[in-house]
Amino acid sequence: MPAHAAAEQPAPQVASSPGSATARGARKPTTTTADASSATVVPQPLRNDRLGDSLRATVQRRAAPAPLLQREVRIDGGKQRVKEHRYQPGGSREGWGSRFKVIDLLTDSVKRVFESESEMVLFAHDMTDYIGDVVTKTAGTFWYRLPEYELTVLGEQHSNPEGHVDDVLKAFGTSRFMQEPFNAATPLAAASDVDFTGTNKRLGEINAVLATGLTVDPAFDPSLENIVIKALTGASIFRNEFLAGKPKTMKPADQDIWKARPTVDDWSYGERCALYLSMALHLAEDIARKDYGKAKKGDTQLVSSSRALKAYFEKHEKDLRGVMEAKDSDDLIGIYELTAPDNFKILPVLKQFTLLFHEYAAQYVRQLGKESHNKKLESEGKWLSAHREATLGQLSPAREEIMWERVKYAARNGYLIVGMGDAHRQNLESRLDAEGIAHARIDADLKKQQADILADWVP
């Protein structure tokens, strides 16, 4: 009850103390002596009837400290508070907000800075997709903002507990994104007349899992990479790293690198190898369905390599399909568990498959470069054809040419975020700068924006 209303009731006689009703201007208690300098307060018992109950409740309310708002919402760069009284109980905007209640934004511990009170209201009503509370696994929650109508490339350390791209996408609820884990069969050009229905079906299943908790809109294709090149990374890692590590005699500590991931939210080198090798098998299955006819003199290198891959897949279809289907049915399994049955009996068959797939993928990359007039991509395809020992790092230039073409597309077509491994972002840095495309490493940028807010915050 407000103090001015309580004054109309007989005042209870209580000792004055900091924070008490008296200290806040309520009627002073009477004393038992005329000598005020030595007076003591004699508490009087409250009445034992309904009026007494009301007086007792009044004392309790007025003696307890009033709850203080943390007032953790600002505008004008953190210098000005919003008009909070509007959103309090009884205010003209009490209860405003659908995704968030404005009153909750005002009283929780996250320091947020809006460009205006109107923006705050839009955010509360889930009508923004470029600002939000980024919740990380270990570093806390960060208020984060990106330019609403410009593209930003965010680099990440995959599954970094201090902040990664998925954390931002979930915080913003934006569909305007591309991201490295999302792949497509033909992001640049067809390259070969193959019906990749089976591959695209499997990609759709994978992408559906990746999209859990994210906002996806058909108007914004989230695919950043070409699945042929990504499948080539799986095939190359299998042959040049996993096989080279001699799985049959591999030490337990080394086995752990190649084994399953604990959950779909975790990352495992062995699981990624298994996944993208299985996608190479899906691509080969679709290629095997195409009738290439008899070999002829005018065949391109892409057609010749496709024909060889088709023949091998058909010859070993049962074994290869077994590996493919085993991975399709297990989102967690890694390459170690996938190939271990029967004392790794499948390894020689997979090794030869990856050699044939390498040549196909190299020629595919080369053809993509020709069709998209990307000389760098065409050159990378030619180099890969001559280097079957290519490491993951040596495959990056071809992957990054595809990424670069997609980044440019995103910048032209209203995307907000392109997410990729930070090593790729750094490799593209000079081109991003030249095109005026903003970019940052996400965990560092979260901390930077937090520091900027704290520097301008007015208590």
Distance CA 316, CA 89 (A): 72
pLDDT (tens digit per residue) in 109-118 = 899 999 999 9
Q: Distance of CA 184 to CAs 126, 144, 204, 206, Å?
A: 30, 30, 9, 11
Helix (H) / strand (E) element for 322: namely helix 317-328
Burial class from Cβ neighbours inside 10 Å (0-12, 13-18, 19+) for residue 405 reads middle
Reported as a pLDDT band with limits 50, 70 and 90, residue 242 is very high
Q: What is the pLDDT of residue 230?
A: 94
Q: What is the pLDDT of residue 191?
A: 58
Q: What is the pLDDT of residue 192?
A: 63
Q: What is the pLDDT of residue 12?
A: 35
The model carries a pTM of 0.79
Number of H helices, E strands in the chain: 19, 10
Strands 131-135 and 141-145: what pairing? antiparallel
Beta bridge partners of 114: 75
Q: Distance of CA 119 to CAs 239, 256, 258, 280, 401, Å?
A: 53, 48, 47, 47, 38
Please determine, for residue 7, whether its predicted confidence score (pLDDT) is greater than 60: no
Instruction: List the structure tokens of 425.
Output: 């972002």
Mean pLDDT in residue range 95-104: 90
Mean pLDDT in residue range 180-199: 78
Q: Distance of CA 416 to CAs 151, 371, 419, 438, Å?
A: 5, 28, 10, 11
Mean pLDDT in residue range 2-26: 35
Please determine, for residue 124, whether its predicted confidence score (pLDDT) is greater than 90: yes
Buried b vs exposed e over 241-262: b needs ≥16 C-beta within 10 Å? Answer: bbbebebeeeeeeebebbbbbe
Strands 177-184 and 112-114: what pairing? unpaired
Distance CA 268, CA 275 (A): 10
Binning the chain into helix, strand and coil, the percentages to the nearest 5 are: 50, 10, 40
Mean pLDDT in residue range 249-272: 94
Mean pLDDT, the chain, integer: 85
Mean pLDDT in residue range 74-93: 84
User: Which residue would you say has higher pLDDT here, 426 or 99?
Assistant: 426
Say whether 112 sits in a helix, a strand or coil.
strand
Poorest-pLDDT segment among 174-178, 202-206, 226-230, 293-297 = 293-297
Strands 223-226 and 177-184: what pairing? parallel
Reported as a pLDDT band with limits 50, 70 and 90, residue 429 is very high
Please determine, for residue 212, whether its predicted confidence score (pLDDT) is greater than 80: yes
Distance CA 113, CA 76 (A): 8
Q: What is the pLDDT of residue 37?
A: 39
Mean pLDDT in residue range 334-345: 97
Distance CA 14, CA 30 (A): 9
Distance CA 372, CA 407 (A): 15
Distance CA 134, CA 123 (A): 14
Q: What is the pLDDT of residue 84?
A: 84
Reported as a pLDDT band with limits 50, 70 and 90, residue 70 is very low
Q: Which residues contact 211 (CB under 8 A, 6 or more apart)?
A: 222
Is 146 within 8 Å of 152 (Cβ atoms)? Answer: yes
Distance CA 277, CA 358 (A): 11
Reported as a pLDDT band with limits 50, 70 and 90, residue 189 is low
Please determine, for residue 187, whether its predicted confidence score (pLDDT) is greater than 60: no
Is 416 within 8 Å of 129 (Cβ atoms)? Answer: yes
pLDDT (tens digit per residue) in 276-320 = 999 999 999 999 999 988 888 888 899 999 999 999 999 999 999
